Amino acid sequence: MAQTGYLSRIRFLIVEDNAFSRTLIRRILVQFGALDIQEARDGETAKTEIKNFKPDIIVVDWMMKPTDGMELVHWLRESKESPAPFTPVIMVSAFSHIANVMQARDAGINEFLAKPISAKSLLARIQAVIEKPRQFVRADAYFGPDRRRRPLPHPGEERRDEDPVEAPQAH
């Protein structure tokens, strides 16, 4: 388990339309020492927060209106207006069927967390994006963290560039 203060220098943005869930996530982050936390009730508000607050990690719910978490991730990764396409995103959703997880992964999230969440599970996802960041990949229809979690044998020719896209260092 992480020590108190582990998250004290990390800026978090919680994007969640449910006030109870936002409060729960905030309390967990504070419990682990997070000091700089902003909240947004939907993806549209989050875009402004991303531009102004410049979070280091975004925790986002999938289902929100008018702009849901998937639309926000697409904007973050692909839009010319996005100021921070490399920002780690932890998607939170009750829709945790494997097809949903894969859809979120293919949108460019870093980690997926099924609701209901626990402090331990949220911290594990945060530790993954901090301590084991994945390189970003740009392919024809995808930009985001490498979707492969483990090396698998590949029977064909390696088609990736020798120089992967590097994320800028956090401030």
Indicate whether 4 pLDDT > 80.
no
Q: Which CATH superfamily is domain 11-143 in?
A: Response regulator (3.40.50.2300)
Ordered by start, the domain boundaries in the chain are 11-143
Predicted TM-score (pTM) of the model is 0.83
User: Phi and psi dihedrals of 112, rounded to 5?
Assistant: -120, 135
Average pLDDT over residues 135-139: 84
- pLDDT tens-digit readout, 140-163: 788 888 877 555 555 667 655 555
% residues pLDDT > 70 (the chain):
84
Name which of 150, 62, 58 is nearest 103 in CA terms.
Answer: 62
- What pLDDT, on the 0 to 100 scale, is given for residue 161? 55
- Say how far apart CA 28 and CA 13 lie, in whole Å: 13
- What pLDDT, on the 0 to 100 scale, is given for residue 138? 86
pLDDT higher at 116 or 134: 116
